[in-house]
């Protein structure tokens, strides 16, 4: 108490503090969160409640698990398995491409507003649908690639309407979401830690495995989540680049809502949501367990 009294005599107090109103500004700032709360309620919480309601009820408003059990249909199960396979492959390819690119950008000492970083995020400024349609024109039988190959009398490629075309579309559309989180983490790593490791005799491989990789795991986990989730739920890419011949679980859900079958569509959406939550929980748990572990 004596120390506190001494500090109070040394440090001048403002009129608000003397009146006990120092928390007035904090209380006022709480109103700033109201738009975000309203946005979350209107676009996240309420839609989730609607999906949950339709997914667990019938047309006559009775409780049922039939809508969720529709995932056991062979067609739906095959679509889910194919969506998981393609999304995992796309996520791995994005990671293999994004991590070296992020390290190159980091070593080049380029800021986030640099020209090369802007080139990476530039496609994101264009409409998602237009980007995908552009790849359809490039990959189709009479597209740009086959036109060039035909001019040089080379065998033409038959990529369109195949899983390879869908993977290519996923990688192209979602690669920036993998690059930017990793790059943002790498530029924040203290260079003194890396220099200290090298001073202690660590070579480039040991420095990467023991220092850079563990410290960059939060960015890697964030990038994997931001690529895997939209890849698993997409239906636009498979519709355009797959020619509606390759059906993913997103296409099945979209078709159910299009024909007005909200109950089955919502039930399948709940199953897909469960897969997403499980994957995010696993990634989050792995991130917490690995945080800083590689430094010791």
More confident residue, 62 or 18: 62
Structure tokens at 208: 């990467």
**Maximum CA pair distance of the chain?**
92
Closest CA to 232 of 49, 111, 91, 107: 91
Q: In which residue are the tokens 């924040």 written? A: 188
CA 16: distance to chain centroid? 45
- In degrees and rounded to multiples of 5, residue 234 shows phi and psi of -70, 150
pLDDT > 70 in the chain, percent: 84
Please check the confidence at residue 1 and state whether its pLDDT lies above 50.
no
How far is the C-alpha of 156 from the C-alpha of 143, rounded, in Å?
10
Task: State residue 293's pLDDT score.
Answer: 42
If one counts every other C-beta atom within 10 angstroms of the C-beta of residue 260, the result is 8
pLDDT in tens, 227-269: 999 999 999 999 999 987 899 999 999 999 999 999 999 999 9
More confident residue, 73 or 292: 73
Please check the confidence at residue 176 and state whether its pLDDT lies above 80.
yes
CB 106 within 8 A of CB 186: yes
Tell me the chain's radius of gyration from C-alpha atoms. 26
The CATH class given to the 72-295 domain equals mainly alpha
* Plot region of 64 (φ>0 → left; ψ -120 to 50 → alpha; else → beta): beta
Q: What is the mean pLDDT of the chain?
A: 84
Helix (H) or strand (E) holding 258: helix 249-258
More confident residue, 93 or 24: 93
Task: State residue 266's pLDDT score.
Answer: 95
Task: State residue 95's pLDDT score.
Answer: 97
If one counts every other C-beta atom within 10 angstroms of the C-beta of residue 287, the result is 16
Please check the confidence at residue 294 and state whether its pLDDT lies above 50.
no
Residue 3's pLDDT band (boundaries 50, 70, 90)?
very low
Please check the confidence at residue 197 and state whether its pLDDT lies above 80.
yes
The burial of 49, by beta-carbon neighbours within 10 Å (0-12 exposed, 13-18 middle, 19 or more buried), is given as exposed
For the chain, domain boundaries: 72-295
How far is the C-alpha of 235 from the C-alpha of 245, rounded, in Å?
12
pLDDT in tens, 105-136: 888 765 555 777 777 778 788 888 899 999 99
Is-above-0.75 flag for pTM? yes
How far is the C-alpha of 173 from the C-alpha of 128, rounded, in Å?
8
CB 266 within 8 A of CB 161: no
- In degrees and rounded to multiples of 5, residue 63 shows phi and psi of -70, 140
User: 201 in helix, strand or coil?
Assistant: coil
Q: Which of 32-46, 71-85, 193-207 has the highest mean pLDDT?
A: 71-85
Closest CA to 231 of 102, 87, 81: 87
């Amino acid at each position: 108490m004596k120390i506190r009294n001494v500090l109070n005599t040394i440090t001048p107090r403002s009129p608000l503090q003397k009146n006990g109103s120092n928390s007035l500004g904090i209380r006022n700032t709480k109103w700033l969160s109201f738009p975000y709360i309203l946005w979350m309620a209107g676009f996240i919480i309420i839609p989730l409640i609607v999906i949950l309601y339709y997914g667990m009820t019938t047309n006559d408003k009775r409780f049922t698990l039939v809508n969720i059990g529709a995932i056991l249909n062979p067609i739906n199960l095959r679509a889910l398995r194919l969506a998981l396979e393609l999304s995992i492959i796309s996520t791995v390819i994005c990671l293999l491409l994004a991590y070296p690119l992020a390290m190159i950008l980091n070593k080049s000492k380029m800021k986030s507003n640099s020209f090369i970083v802007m080139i990476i995020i530039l496609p994101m400024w264009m409409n998602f649908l237009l980007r995908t349609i552009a790849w359809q024109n490039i990959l189709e039988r009479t597209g740009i690639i086959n036109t060039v190959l035909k001019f040089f009398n080379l065998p033409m490629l038959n990529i369109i309407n195949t899983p390879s075309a869908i993977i290519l579309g996923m990688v192209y559309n979602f690669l920036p979401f993998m690059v930017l989180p990793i790059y943002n983490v790498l530029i924040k790593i203290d260079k003194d830690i890396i220099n200290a490791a090298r001073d202690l005799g660590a070579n480039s491989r040991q420095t990467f495995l023991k220092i850079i990789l563990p410290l960059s795991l939060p960015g890697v986990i964030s990038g994997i989540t931001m690529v895997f989730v939209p890849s698993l739920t997409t239906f636009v890419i498979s519709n355009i680049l797959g020619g509606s011949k390759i059906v993913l679980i997103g296409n099945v859900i979209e078709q159910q809502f299009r024909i007005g079958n909200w109950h089955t569509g919502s039930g399948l959406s709940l199953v897909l949501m469960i897969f997403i939550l499980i994957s995010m929980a696993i990634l989050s748990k792995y991130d917490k367990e690995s945080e800083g572990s590689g430094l010791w």
